[in-house]
Structure 1
Amino acid sequence: MGHYIEVEDGVKVYAEDVGSGQPVVFIHGWPLNSKSFESQISILAQQNFRFIGIDLRGYGKSDKPWSGYDYDTAASDVKAVVDHLKLENFVLAGFSMGGPIAIRFLTKFGQQDVDKLLLMGAAAPVFTQRDDFKINLKPKEVDDIIKQIKEDRPAFLAQFADMFFEQKKSPQFLQWFQQLGLEAGAHSTINSAIALRDEDLRGELAGITVPTAIFHGKKDGICAYELGEELEKQIPNSVLVPFKDSGHGINADEPERFNNELLSFLRSSGVK
Protein backbone atom coordinates (compact mmCIF):
# COMPACT_ATOMS: atom_id res chain seq x y z
CA MET A 1 0.00 0.00 0.00
CA GLY A 2 1.05 3.59 -0.41
CA HIS A 3 1.08 6.30 2.26
CA TYR A 4 1.15 10.07 1.79
CA ILE A 5 2.73 11.52 4.91
CA GLU A 6 2.75 15.19 5.75
CA VAL A 7 6.18 16.33 6.90
CA GLU A 8 7.14 19.45 8.84
CA ASP A 9 6.45 22.18 6.29
CA GLY A 10 3.20 20.74 4.93
CA VAL A 11 4.96 18.85 2.13
CA LYS A 12 3.50 15.40 1.43
CA VAL A 13 6.01 12.60 1.05
CA TYR A 14 5.03 9.26 -0.49
CA ALA A 15 6.08 5.89 0.93
CA GLU A 16 5.47 2.46 -0.60
CA ASP A 17 4.77 -0.17 2.06
CA VAL A 18 4.72 -3.87 1.11
CA GLY A 19 4.88 -7.04 3.19
CA SER A 20 5.18 -7.61 6.92
CA GLY A 21 8.02 -8.35 9.31
CA GLN A 22 11.13 -6.35 10.12
CA PRO A 23 10.95 -3.07 8.15
CA VAL A 24 13.67 -2.22 5.64
CA VAL A 25 13.54 1.49 4.80
CA PHE A 26 14.99 2.27 1.36
CA ILE A 27 16.16 5.78 0.46
CA HIS A 28 16.68 6.14 -3.28
CA GLY A 29 19.42 7.83 -5.24
CA TRP A 30 19.51 10.95 -7.40
CA PRO A 31 17.38 11.63 -9.46
CA LEU A 32 15.27 8.47 -9.12
CA ASN A 33 12.53 7.32 -6.73
CA SER A 34 11.50 4.24 -4.76
CA LYS A 35 10.55 2.35 -7.94
CA SER A 36 14.28 1.89 -8.53
CA PHE A 37 14.07 -0.86 -5.85
CA GLU A 38 11.03 -2.62 -7.35
CA SER A 39 13.03 -5.82 -7.90
CA GLN A 40 13.68 -6.01 -4.14
CA ILE A 41 10.01 -5.81 -3.08
CA SER A 42 8.95 -9.40 -3.83
CA ILE A 43 12.20 -10.91 -2.55
CA LEU A 44 11.83 -9.15 0.81
CA ALA A 45 8.08 -9.72 1.20
CA GLN A 46 8.51 -13.45 0.46
CA GLN A 47 11.22 -13.66 3.14
CA ASN A 48 9.05 -11.95 5.80
CA PHE A 49 10.53 -8.48 5.61
CA ARG A 50 8.54 -5.28 5.18
CA PHE A 51 9.67 -3.10 2.28
CA ILE A 52 9.32 0.64 2.90
CA GLY A 53 10.34 2.73 -0.11
CA ILE A 54 10.34 6.48 0.41
CA ASP A 55 10.08 8.95 -2.46
CA LEU A 56 12.14 11.89 -1.22
CA ARG A 57 10.54 15.31 -1.63
CA GLY A 58 10.91 16.42 -5.23
CA TYR A 59 10.91 12.85 -6.57
CA GLY A 60 8.43 10.19 -7.67
CA LYS A 61 4.97 10.65 -6.17
CA SER A 62 6.04 13.12 -3.47
CA ASP A 63 5.37 16.85 -3.54
CA LYS A 64 7.97 18.94 -5.33
CA PRO A 65 8.41 22.15 -3.30
CA TRP A 66 10.96 24.79 -4.19
CA SER A 67 13.23 24.17 -1.20
CA GLY A 68 14.37 21.51 1.26
CA TYR A 69 16.85 19.50 -0.80
CA ASP A 70 19.70 19.58 1.71
CA TYR A 71 20.55 16.39 3.63
CA ASP A 72 19.23 17.76 6.90
CA THR A 73 15.73 18.32 5.54
CA ALA A 74 15.76 14.99 3.71
CA ALA A 75 16.71 13.21 6.95
CA SER A 76 13.86 15.01 8.75
CA ASP A 77 11.43 13.87 6.04
CA VAL A 78 12.60 10.26 6.53
CA LYS A 79 12.09 10.68 10.28
CA ALA A 80 8.52 11.91 9.68
CA VAL A 81 7.79 8.75 7.65
CA VAL A 82 9.40 6.49 10.29
CA ASP A 83 7.36 8.16 13.06
CA HIS A 84 4.09 8.11 11.09
CA LEU A 85 4.46 4.37 10.36
CA LYS A 86 5.68 3.76 13.96
CA LEU A 87 8.68 1.79 12.72
CA GLU A 88 10.96 0.14 15.26
CA ASN A 89 14.03 -2.06 14.91
CA PHE A 90 14.24 -1.22 11.22
CA VAL A 91 17.09 -1.48 8.73
CA LEU A 92 18.02 1.79 7.04
CA ALA A 93 19.15 1.28 3.44
CA GLY A 94 20.49 4.24 1.47
CA PHE A 95 21.53 4.10 -2.18
CA SER A 96 23.79 6.76 -3.76
CA MET A 97 22.45 10.14 -2.49
CA GLY A 98 20.28 8.11 -0.11
CA GLY A 99 23.51 6.95 1.60
CA PRO A 100 24.52 10.33 3.06
CA ILE A 101 20.86 10.99 3.93
CA ALA A 102 20.78 7.72 5.90
CA ILE A 103 24.03 8.69 7.67
CA ARG A 104 22.63 12.13 8.49
CA PHE A 105 19.45 10.47 9.85
CA LEU A 106 21.58 8.51 12.34
CA THR A 107 23.69 11.48 13.43
CA LYS A 108 20.67 13.80 13.68
CA PHE A 109 18.11 11.52 15.34
CA GLY A 110 20.17 8.80 16.99
CA GLN A 111 20.41 5.06 16.39
CA GLN A 112 18.03 3.69 19.02
CA ASP A 113 15.38 2.38 16.58
CA VAL A 114 17.82 1.37 13.85
CA ASP A 115 18.92 -2.27 13.79
CA LYS A 116 21.39 -2.04 10.89
CA LEU A 117 22.63 0.33 8.20
CA LEU A 118 23.08 -0.60 4.55
CA LEU A 119 24.96 1.79 2.27
CA MET A 120 24.76 0.99 -1.45
CA GLY A 121 26.98 2.87 -3.90
CA ALA A 122 26.79 5.67 -1.35
CA ALA A 123 27.68 9.27 -2.26
CA ALA A 124 29.50 9.58 1.05
CA PRO A 125 31.40 10.76 2.99
CA VAL A 126 31.84 13.45 0.30
CA PHE A 127 30.62 13.28 -3.31
CA THR A 128 33.06 15.86 -4.69
CA GLN A 129 36.76 16.50 -4.23
CA ARG A 130 38.16 18.92 -1.67
CA ASP A 131 41.66 20.24 -1.02
CA ASP A 132 42.13 17.37 1.44
CA PHE A 133 39.94 14.79 -0.32
CA LYS A 134 40.85 13.70 -3.84
CA ILE A 135 38.27 10.99 -4.48
CA ASN A 136 35.42 11.09 -7.04
CA LEU A 137 34.06 14.00 -9.12
CA LYS A 138 35.38 17.54 -9.09
CA PRO A 139 32.83 20.20 -8.09
CA LYS A 140 33.04 21.62 -11.63
CA GLU A 141 31.84 18.27 -13.04
CA VAL A 142 28.66 18.61 -10.98
CA ASP A 143 28.28 22.18 -12.29
CA ASP A 144 28.49 20.74 -15.82
CA ILE A 145 25.77 18.21 -14.97
CA ILE A 146 23.53 21.02 -13.69
CA LYS A 147 24.14 22.94 -16.93
CA GLN A 148 23.15 19.88 -19.00
CA ILE A 149 19.97 19.40 -16.95
CA LYS A 150 19.00 23.02 -17.59
CA GLU A 151 19.66 22.67 -21.32
CA ASP A 152 18.05 19.29 -22.03
CA ARG A 153 17.03 17.18 -19.06
CA PRO A 154 15.67 14.18 -21.05
CA ALA A 155 18.91 13.95 -23.05
CA PHE A 156 21.02 14.18 -19.88
CA LEU A 157 19.00 11.40 -18.21
CA ALA A 158 19.41 9.13 -21.24
CA GLN A 159 23.17 9.70 -21.10
CA PHE A 160 23.20 9.27 -17.31
CA ALA A 161 21.84 5.73 -17.73
CA ASP A 162 24.97 4.88 -19.74
CA MET A 163 27.14 6.02 -16.82
CA PHE A 164 24.97 4.19 -14.30
CA PHE A 165 25.22 0.56 -15.42
CA GLU A 166 28.18 -1.61 -16.28
CA GLN A 167 26.16 -4.48 -17.76
CA LYS A 168 24.22 -4.16 -21.02
CA LYS A 169 20.57 -3.25 -20.54
CA SER A 170 17.61 -3.49 -22.90
CA PRO A 171 16.40 -0.27 -24.57
CA GLN A 172 13.12 -0.73 -22.66
CA PHE A 173 14.94 -0.89 -19.32
CA LEU A 174 16.92 2.26 -20.15
CA GLN A 175 13.73 4.06 -21.17
CA TRP A 176 12.13 3.05 -17.84
CA PHE A 177 15.21 4.29 -15.96
CA GLN A 178 15.07 7.62 -17.81
CA GLN A 179 11.36 7.90 -16.97
CA LEU A 180 12.11 7.54 -13.22
CA GLY A 181 14.38 10.58 -13.49
CA LEU A 182 11.78 12.52 -15.47
CA GLU A 183 9.23 11.97 -12.67
CA ALA A 184 11.37 14.27 -10.50
CA GLY A 185 11.00 18.04 -10.52
CA ALA A 186 13.66 19.72 -12.66
CA HIS A 187 14.31 22.23 -9.85
CA SER A 188 14.47 19.34 -7.34
CA THR A 189 17.06 17.55 -9.46
CA ILE A 190 19.21 20.68 -9.66
CA ASN A 191 18.91 21.55 -5.95
CA SER A 192 19.84 18.01 -4.91
CA ALA A 193 22.85 18.13 -7.23
CA ILE A 194 23.96 21.27 -5.36
CA ALA A 195 23.61 19.37 -2.05
CA LEU A 196 25.62 16.46 -3.49
CA ARG A 197 28.31 18.91 -4.59
CA ASP A 198 28.56 20.86 -1.34
CA GLU A 199 27.72 18.63 1.65
CA ASP A 200 30.42 16.87 3.68
CA LEU A 201 29.78 14.08 6.21
CA ARG A 202 33.34 13.22 7.15
CA GLY A 203 32.87 14.28 10.76
CA GLU A 204 29.78 12.07 11.21
CA LEU A 205 31.01 8.53 10.60
CA ALA A 206 32.95 7.59 13.73
CA GLY A 207 29.83 7.79 15.92
CA ILE A 208 27.87 5.22 13.90
CA THR A 209 27.82 2.02 15.95
CA VAL A 210 25.07 -0.03 14.29
CA PRO A 211 26.23 -2.98 12.16
CA THR A 212 26.85 -1.54 8.69
CA ALA A 213 27.24 -3.18 5.28
CA ILE A 214 28.71 -1.20 2.39
CA PHE A 215 27.72 -2.60 -1.03
CA HIS A 216 29.76 -0.99 -3.80
CA GLY A 217 30.44 -1.71 -7.48
CA LYS A 218 34.12 -1.99 -8.37
CA LYS A 219 33.39 -0.23 -11.69
CA ASP A 220 31.19 2.51 -10.29
CA GLY A 221 31.62 5.59 -12.50
CA ILE A 222 29.39 7.88 -10.40
CA CYS A 223 30.43 7.11 -6.81
CA ALA A 224 33.95 5.73 -7.07
CA TYR A 225 34.71 2.43 -5.30
CA GLU A 226 37.26 4.34 -3.17
CA LEU A 227 34.32 6.06 -1.45
CA GLY A 228 33.19 2.64 -0.19
CA GLU A 229 36.72 1.93 1.06
CA GLU A 230 36.75 5.29 2.84
CA LEU A 231 33.40 4.51 4.52
CA GLU A 232 34.67 1.13 5.71
CA LYS A 233 37.73 2.79 7.24
CA GLN A 234 35.69 5.37 9.12
CA ILE A 235 32.54 3.50 10.23
CA PRO A 236 33.56 1.28 13.17
CA ASN A 237 31.34 -1.80 12.79
CA SER A 238 31.27 -1.97 8.99
CA VAL A 239 32.07 -4.44 6.25
CA LEU A 240 32.67 -3.62 2.58
CA VAL A 241 31.03 -5.98 0.08
CA PRO A 242 32.55 -5.45 -3.40
CA PHE A 243 30.51 -6.15 -6.54
CA LYS A 244 33.22 -6.75 -9.10
CA ASP A 245 30.98 -6.75 -12.21
CA SER A 246 28.86 -3.74 -11.21
CA GLY A 247 28.83 -0.08 -11.98
CA HIS A 248 26.70 2.26 -9.87
CA GLY A 249 23.38 0.43 -10.26
CA ILE A 250 24.41 -2.74 -8.41
CA ASN A 251 20.87 -4.08 -7.93
CA ALA A 252 20.43 -4.11 -11.73
CA ASP A 253 24.00 -5.01 -12.75
CA GLU A 254 24.25 -8.09 -10.47
CA PRO A 255 20.63 -8.64 -9.40
CA GLU A 256 20.92 -12.19 -8.08
CA ARG A 257 24.08 -11.55 -6.09
CA PHE A 258 22.66 -8.25 -4.82
CA ASN A 259 19.52 -9.92 -3.47
CA ASN A 260 21.51 -12.78 -1.92
CA GLU A 261 23.89 -10.36 -0.17
CA LEU A 262 20.94 -8.22 0.92
CA LEU A 263 19.12 -11.17 2.53
CA SER A 264 22.33 -12.45 4.07
CA PHE A 265 22.96 -9.05 5.72
CA LEU A 266 19.35 -8.71 6.87
CA ARG A 267 19.44 -12.16 8.51
CA SER A 268 22.88 -11.74 10.04
CA SER A 269 23.41 -11.03 13.70
CA GLY A 270 25.44 -8.05 12.51
CA VAL A 271 28.53 -8.96 14.50
CA LYS A 272 31.64 -8.52 12.41
Structure 2
Amino acid sequence: MNYYIDVEPGVSLYVEDTGVGQPILFVHGYPLDHRMYEYQVNQLPKYGYRCIRMDLRGFGKSDSPWESYSLDRMADDVRAIIDTLGFKQITLAAFSMGGAVAVRYMGRHAGHGVGKLLLFAAAAPYITKQPGFPQGMPVEGLDALIALANRDRPQMLQEFGKLFFHNEPTPAFRQWFDSVQLDQSPRAIIACGHTLRDENVKADLGRIKAPTYIFHGVYDRICPFELAIIMKENIPSSILLRFDNSGHAIFYEELDLFNACLLEALRH
Protein backbone atom coordinates (compact mmCIF):
# COMPACT_ATOMS: atom_id res chain seq x y z
CA MET A 1 0.00 0.00 0.00
CA ASN A 2 1.36 3.42 -0.98
CA TYR A 3 0.09 6.78 0.23
CA TYR A 4 0.99 10.36 1.11
CA ILE A 5 0.87 12.01 4.53
CA ASP A 6 0.65 15.78 4.98
CA VAL A 7 3.30 17.02 7.41
CA GLU A 8 2.79 20.77 6.99
CA PRO A 9 0.82 22.99 4.61
CA GLY A 10 2.02 22.29 1.08
CA VAL A 11 4.33 19.42 2.01
CA SER A 12 3.37 15.75 1.78
CA LEU A 13 5.64 12.77 2.33
CA TYR A 14 5.47 9.51 0.42
CA VAL A 15 5.06 6.26 2.37
CA GLU A 16 5.21 2.62 1.28
CA ASP A 17 3.51 0.22 3.70
CA THR A 18 4.27 -3.49 3.27
CA GLY A 19 3.19 -6.49 5.33
CA VAL A 20 1.20 -6.88 8.54
CA GLY A 21 2.29 -7.29 12.13
CA GLN A 22 4.74 -5.44 14.36
CA PRO A 23 5.45 -2.07 12.69
CA ILE A 24 8.88 -0.78 11.74
CA LEU A 25 9.35 2.76 10.42
CA PHE A 26 12.40 2.92 8.13
CA VAL A 27 14.15 6.24 7.53
CA HIS A 28 16.64 6.33 4.65
CA GLY A 29 19.97 8.11 4.39
CA TYR A 30 21.54 10.76 2.17
CA PRO A 31 21.29 10.88 -0.81
CA LEU A 32 18.96 7.88 -1.12
CA ASP A 33 15.26 7.15 -0.56
CA HIS A 34 12.97 4.37 0.66
CA ARG A 35 14.27 2.00 -2.02
CA MET A 36 17.52 1.43 -0.14
CA TYR A 37 15.67 -1.03 2.14
CA GLU A 38 14.57 -3.31 -0.71
CA TYR A 39 16.48 -6.32 0.58
CA GLN A 40 15.07 -5.97 4.08
CA VAL A 41 11.45 -5.42 3.07
CA ASN A 42 11.67 -8.47 0.79
CA GLN A 43 12.21 -10.59 3.92
CA LEU A 44 10.73 -9.05 7.07
CA PRO A 45 7.00 -9.46 6.25
CA LYS A 46 7.60 -13.22 6.16
CA TYR A 47 8.34 -13.05 9.88
CA GLY A 48 5.34 -10.95 10.89
CA TYR A 49 6.64 -7.42 10.47
CA ARG A 50 4.95 -4.45 8.88
CA CYS A 51 7.50 -2.30 7.05
CA ILE A 52 6.70 1.39 6.67
CA ARG A 53 9.22 3.20 4.49
CA MET A 54 9.03 6.98 4.31
CA ASP A 55 10.76 9.33 1.91
CA LEU A 56 12.19 12.33 3.71
CA ARG A 57 11.27 15.73 2.30
CA GLY A 58 13.13 16.36 -0.93
CA PHE A 59 13.82 12.68 -1.51
CA GLY A 60 12.09 9.92 -3.45
CA LYS A 61 8.46 10.74 -4.16
CA SER A 62 8.00 13.23 -1.33
CA ASP A 63 7.51 16.95 -1.91
CA SER A 64 10.62 19.08 -2.18
CA PRO A 65 10.15 22.53 -0.63
CA TRP A 66 12.82 25.17 -1.11
CA GLU A 67 13.49 25.57 2.63
CA SER A 68 13.13 23.63 5.90
CA TYR A 69 15.67 20.81 5.79
CA SER A 70 16.89 21.11 9.37
CA LEU A 71 17.10 18.08 11.65
CA ASP A 72 14.34 19.62 13.79
CA ARG A 73 12.01 19.89 10.80
CA MET A 74 12.73 16.38 9.57
CA ALA A 75 12.27 15.01 13.09
CA ASP A 76 8.90 16.76 13.19
CA ASP A 77 8.07 15.03 9.90
CA VAL A 78 8.75 11.67 11.56
CA ARG A 79 6.42 12.72 14.39
CA ALA A 80 3.70 13.51 11.83
CA ILE A 81 4.05 10.04 10.29
CA ILE A 82 3.91 8.31 13.68
CA ASP A 83 0.92 10.34 14.86
CA THR A 84 -1.01 10.00 11.63
CA LEU A 85 -0.61 6.23 11.63
CA GLY A 86 -1.34 6.03 15.36
CA PHE A 87 1.73 4.07 16.42
CA LYS A 88 2.44 3.56 20.12
CA GLN A 89 5.43 1.17 20.28
CA ILE A 90 6.95 1.25 16.81
CA THR A 91 10.52 0.28 16.00
CA LEU A 92 12.29 3.27 14.47
CA ALA A 93 15.08 2.12 12.10
CA ALA A 94 17.28 4.71 10.41
CA PHE A 95 20.40 4.92 8.26
CA SER A 96 23.14 7.58 8.05
CA MET A 97 21.51 11.05 7.90
CA GLY A 98 18.25 9.32 8.74
CA GLY A 99 20.01 8.13 11.88
CA ALA A 100 20.70 11.74 12.86
CA VAL A 101 17.04 12.55 12.21
CA ALA A 102 15.99 9.60 14.39
CA VAL A 103 18.31 10.61 17.23
CA ARG A 104 16.99 14.18 17.05
CA TYR A 105 13.45 12.77 17.08
CA MET A 106 14.17 10.80 20.25
CA GLY A 107 15.53 13.91 21.95
CA ARG A 108 13.11 16.50 20.60
CA HIS A 109 9.97 14.39 20.99
CA ALA A 110 11.03 12.33 24.01
CA GLY A 111 10.81 9.11 22.01
CA HIS A 112 7.06 9.52 21.47
CA GLY A 113 5.55 6.32 20.11
CA VAL A 114 8.90 4.53 19.78
CA GLY A 115 9.55 1.28 21.62
CA LYS A 116 12.92 0.45 20.06
CA LEU A 117 15.56 2.32 18.08
CA LEU A 118 17.83 0.81 15.42
CA LEU A 119 20.66 2.97 14.10
CA PHE A 120 22.44 1.87 10.90
CA ALA A 121 25.76 3.65 10.19
CA ALA A 122 24.19 6.72 11.79
CA ALA A 123 25.57 10.21 11.18
CA ALA A 124 25.60 10.78 14.93
CA PRO A 125 26.62 12.63 16.93
CA TYR A 126 28.28 14.37 13.95
CA ILE A 127 30.15 13.48 10.78
CA THR A 128 32.62 16.37 10.58
CA LYS A 129 35.87 16.65 12.49
CA GLN A 130 35.42 18.15 15.95
CA PRO A 131 37.84 19.34 18.64
CA GLY A 132 39.19 16.18 20.20
CA PHE A 133 37.75 14.03 17.41
CA PRO A 134 39.93 14.03 14.29
CA GLN A 135 38.31 11.00 12.62
CA GLY A 136 35.32 12.69 11.00
CA MET A 137 35.05 14.17 7.52
CA PRO A 138 36.75 17.58 7.23
CA VAL A 139 34.36 20.49 6.91
CA GLU A 140 36.30 21.49 3.80
CA GLY A 141 35.46 18.13 2.26
CA LEU A 142 31.74 18.70 2.68
CA ASP A 143 32.12 22.25 1.40
CA ALA A 144 33.76 20.88 -1.73
CA LEU A 145 30.95 18.37 -2.26
CA ILE A 146 28.31 21.09 -1.84
CA ALA A 147 30.16 23.34 -4.29
CA LEU A 148 30.41 20.48 -6.78
CA ALA A 149 26.68 19.76 -6.41
CA ASN A 150 26.02 23.35 -7.50
CA ARG A 151 27.86 22.90 -10.79
CA ASP A 152 28.02 19.15 -11.52
CA ARG A 153 25.59 17.21 -9.35
CA PRO A 154 26.05 13.86 -11.17
CA GLN A 155 29.81 14.04 -10.60
CA MET A 156 29.33 14.97 -6.95
CA LEU A 157 26.99 12.04 -6.40
CA GLN A 158 29.35 9.67 -8.17
CA GLU A 159 32.25 10.77 -5.97
CA PHE A 160 30.21 10.61 -2.77
CA GLY A 161 28.73 7.26 -3.77
CA LYS A 162 32.20 5.74 -4.03
CA LEU A 163 32.69 6.38 -0.31
CA PHE A 164 29.78 4.07 0.57
CA PHE A 165 31.43 0.75 -0.19
CA HIS A 166 34.33 -1.13 1.33
CA ASN A 167 33.76 -3.93 -1.19
CA GLU A 168 32.87 -2.78 -4.69
CA PRO A 169 29.41 -4.09 -5.62
CA THR A 170 28.52 -5.63 -8.97
CA PRO A 171 28.39 -3.20 -11.92
CA ALA A 172 24.62 -3.73 -12.09
CA PHE A 173 24.13 -2.83 -8.42
CA ARG A 174 26.39 0.19 -8.79
CA GLN A 175 24.34 1.38 -11.76
CA TRP A 176 21.13 1.01 -9.75
CA PHE A 177 22.64 2.72 -6.72
CA ASP A 178 23.84 5.68 -8.80
CA SER A 179 20.42 5.97 -10.46
CA VAL A 180 18.71 6.21 -7.05
CA GLN A 181 21.05 9.04 -6.04
CA LEU A 182 20.35 10.91 -9.28
CA ASP A 183 16.59 10.72 -8.67
CA GLN A 184 16.77 12.97 -5.62
CA SER A 185 15.88 16.67 -5.57
CA PRO A 186 18.88 18.88 -6.42
CA ARG A 187 17.67 21.34 -3.80
CA ALA A 188 17.53 18.65 -1.09
CA ILE A 189 21.02 17.43 -2.01
CA ILE A 190 22.46 20.89 -1.37
CA ALA A 191 20.29 21.81 1.63
CA CYS A 192 20.92 18.54 3.45
CA GLY A 193 24.62 18.87 2.69
CA HIS A 194 24.55 22.07 4.76
CA THR A 195 22.53 20.31 7.48
CA LEU A 196 25.04 17.48 7.74
CA ARG A 197 27.91 19.97 7.85
CA ASP A 198 26.44 22.39 10.37
CA GLU A 199 24.25 20.40 12.77
CA ASN A 200 24.91 17.65 15.29
CA VAL A 201 22.86 15.51 17.71
CA LYS A 202 25.36 15.13 20.53
CA ALA A 203 22.97 16.59 23.12
CA ASP A 204 20.21 14.19 22.06
CA LEU A 205 22.10 10.95 22.67
CA GLY A 206 21.66 10.93 26.45
CA ARG A 207 17.93 11.60 26.10
CA ILE A 208 17.27 8.30 24.36
CA LYS A 209 15.39 5.97 26.71
CA ALA A 210 14.30 3.22 24.31
CA PRO A 211 16.44 0.10 23.86
CA THR A 212 18.87 0.94 21.06
CA TYR A 213 20.88 -1.21 18.66
CA ILE A 214 23.81 0.40 16.84
CA PHE A 215 24.79 -1.32 13.57
CA HIS A 216 28.08 -0.01 12.18
CA GLY A 217 30.72 -1.05 9.65
CA VAL A 218 34.36 -1.02 10.70
CA TYR A 219 35.46 0.40 7.33
CA ASP A 220 32.92 3.23 7.15
CA ARG A 221 34.52 6.22 5.41
CA ILE A 222 31.52 8.55 5.78
CA CYS A 223 30.56 7.91 9.40
CA PRO A 224 33.71 6.43 10.96
CA PHE A 225 33.36 3.49 13.35
CA GLU A 226 34.51 5.76 16.17
CA LEU A 227 31.09 7.41 15.97
CA ALA A 228 29.50 4.08 16.89
CA ILE A 229 31.71 3.90 19.98
CA ILE A 230 30.64 7.41 21.01
CA MET A 231 26.98 6.47 20.50
CA LYS A 232 27.42 3.32 22.58
CA GLU A 233 29.03 5.31 25.39
CA ASN A 234 26.33 7.99 25.43
CA ILE A 235 23.06 6.16 24.70
CA PRO A 236 21.74 4.35 27.77
CA SER A 237 20.74 0.70 27.21
CA SER A 238 22.45 0.55 23.82
CA ILE A 239 24.09 -2.45 22.14
CA LEU A 240 26.78 -2.09 19.47
CA LEU A 241 26.83 -4.58 16.60
CA ARG A 242 30.12 -4.47 14.72
CA PHE A 243 30.31 -5.40 11.03
CA ASP A 244 33.89 -6.33 10.21
CA ASN A 245 33.60 -6.42 6.42
CA SER A 246 31.41 -3.39 5.74
CA GLY A 247 31.86 0.24 4.91
CA HIS A 248 28.99 2.75 5.02
CA ALA A 249 26.63 0.61 2.93
CA ILE A 250 26.07 -1.70 5.87
CA PHE A 251 22.55 -2.56 4.68
CA TYR A 252 24.01 -4.35 1.64
CA GLU A 253 27.70 -5.24 2.02
CA GLU A 254 27.10 -8.00 4.58
CA LEU A 255 23.48 -8.50 3.62
CA ASP A 256 22.83 -11.92 5.18
CA LEU A 257 24.51 -10.98 8.46
CA PHE A 258 22.78 -7.61 8.52
CA ASN A 259 19.34 -9.15 8.03
CA ALA A 260 20.03 -11.84 10.63
CA CYS A 261 21.10 -9.22 13.18
CA LEU A 262 18.11 -7.10 12.27
CA LEU A 263 15.72 -9.97 12.96
CA GLU A 264 17.47 -10.74 16.23
CA ALA A 265 17.24 -7.10 17.36
CA LEU A 266 13.55 -6.94 16.42
CA ARG A 267 12.77 -10.11 18.37
CA HIS A 268 14.78 -9.23 21.47
Same fold (TM over 0.5): yes
Normalised TM-score (structure 1):
0.96
Name whichever of 234-243 and 4-13 sits farther off. Answer: 4-13
Number of the residue aligned with 2:90: 90
Give me the whole-angstrom Cα distance separating, in 2, the residues matched to 1:33 and 1:78.
14
Match of 1:164 in 2: 164
Looking at structure 1, the residues matched to 261 and 40 of structure 2 have their Cα atoms a distance apart, in angstroms, of 12
Equivalent residue, structure 2, for 1:267 = 267
Three-state SS of the structure 1 residue aligned to 2:43 is helix
> How many corresponding residue pairs?
268
Preserved CA contact (<8 Å) 2:211 2:238: yes
2:53 is matched with: 53
TM-score (norm 2): 0.97
Equivalence for 1:14? 14
1:121 equivalenced with 2:125 (yes/no): no
**Does structure 1 conserve the Cα–Cα contact (< 8 Å) formed by 2:106 and 2:204?**
no
Query: Is the CA contact (8 Å cut-off) linking 1:97 and 1:122 kept in structure 2?
Result: yes
What is the letter of the counterpart of residue 53 of structure 2? G
Point out where structure 2 has 5 or more consecutive residues left out of the alignment. Answer: none
The 5 Å alignment of 1:82-161 reads 82-161=82-161
Give, in whole Å, the separation in 1 of the partners of 2:9 and 2:78: 13
2:245 is aligned to: 245
Q: What RMSD, in angstroms, separates the aligned Cα atoms of the two structures?
A: 1.1
CA deviation after TM superposition for structure 1 residue 112, in Å: 4.3
What SS does structure 2 have at the residue aligned with 1:128? Answer: coil
1:149: how far off? 1.3
Q: Quick check: 1:165–1:253 contact (8 Å CA) kept in 2?
A: yes
Find out whether 1:236 has 2:236 as its counterpart: yes
State whether residues 158 and 174 of structure 1, in contact with CA within 8 Å, keep that contact through their aligned partners in structure 2: no
Identity %: 41
**How much does 1:130 deviate?**
2.4
* CA deviation profile, 1:17-70 (whole Å, cap 9, x unmatched): 100111111111001001000111121111100101110000000011101111
Deviation at 1:118, TM superposition (A): 0.5
Contact conserved, 2:41 with 2:51, CA < 8 A, in 1?
yes
Distance 1:80 1:10 in 2: 14
Return the alpha-carbon distance in structure 1 between the equivalents of residues 103 and 4 of structure 2.
24
Give, as a single letter, the amino acid of the residue that structure 2 aligns with 1:55. Answer: D
- Once the two structures are TM-superposed, the CA of residue 148 in structure 1 deviates from its matched residue by 1.7
- SS, match of residue 7 in structure 1: strand
Q: CA deviation at 1:161?
A: 2.5
Q: Equivalents in 2 of 1:24, 1:164: separation in Å?
A: 24
Amino acid at match of 1:101: V
Deviation at 1:78, TM superposition (A): 1.1
Using the TM superposition, give the Cα deviation of residue 184 of structure 1 relative to its aligned residue in structure 2, in angstroms.
Answer: 1.1
Partner of 1:64: 64
Aligned position for 1:184: 184
TM-superposition CA deviations, 1:189-244 (whole Å, max 9, x none): 11001000111211111121111000000000111000011100100110110100
Contact 2:91 2:118 in 1 (8 A): yes
1:215 aligned partner: 215
- Is the CA contact (8 Å cut-off) linking 2:106 and 2:207 kept in structure 1? no
* Equivalent-residue separation in structure 2 for 1:144 and 1:127 (angstroms): 15
1-side partners of 2:75 and 2:3: how far apart? 18
Distance across 2 between alignment mates of 1:252 and 1:54: 19
Asked if 2 retains the 8 angstrom alpha-carbon contact of 1:93 and 1:119, the reply is yes
How far did residue 134 of structure 1 move?
Answer: 2.8
Moved >3 Å (runs of 4+)? none
Structure 1 letter corresponding to 2:239: V
Bigger mean CA offset, 210-219 vs 174-183: 174-183
Contact 1:127 1:137 in 2 (8 A): yes
- Conserved 8 A contact 2:130-2:136: no
